[in-house]
Amino acid sequence: AQKITQTQPGMFVQEKEAVTLDCTYDTSDPSYGLFWYKQPSSGEMIFLIYQGSYDQQNATEGRYSLNFQKARKSANLVISASQLGDSAMYFCAMRLNYGGSQGNLIFGKGTKLSVKP
């Protein structure tokens, strides 16, 4: 069965430091996509970054990068130079590209990141 696991319920990081949020996934399908979303206290889910299963290079978007290790089935999010506004819940999600649930996202339970001044 497809599954996303985020083992860190909460994380603290000092402002301006880098932080890594863990995500592992489980699927037997060869084609899938991995996503990270940010959810501030306002509730809206904000798309951050995407990694395709066949992409050769790790995805980067500004201060966000995805450390994709396919053999380990991990897709950790790295946030560099943390800012106070980065405090939020972060969700890892997987989308399958084949089968009856094509296109649907499976989410992890999330990690609450708190940035300390």
Partner 1 sequence: ETGVTQTPRHLVMGMTNKKSLKCEQHLGHNAMYWYKQSAKKPLELMFVYSLEERVENNSVPSRFSPECPNSSHLFLHLHTLQPEDSALYLCASSLTNNEQFFGPGTRLTVL
* Residues in touch with partner 1 (CB under 8 A): 4, 35, 37, 42-47, 50, 91, 95, 97, 101-110
User: C-beta of 107: minimal distance to partner 1 in Å?
Assistant: 4
From CA 114, how far away is CA 88, in angstroms rounded?
A: 7
Q: Please say whether the dihedral angle defined by the alpha carbons of residues 91, 68, 17 and 63, taken in this order, is positive or negative.
A: negative
From CA 49, how far away is CA 67, in angstroms rounded?
A: 11
Residue 81: what residue type? A
Nearer to partner 1, 12 or 47 (CB): 47
From CA 25, how far away is CA 114, in angstroms rounded?
A: 24
Nearer to partner 1, 4 or 113 (CB): 4
User: C-beta of 117: minimal distance to partner 1 in Å?
Assistant: 27
User: C-beta of 47: minimal distance to partner 1 in Å?
Assistant: 5
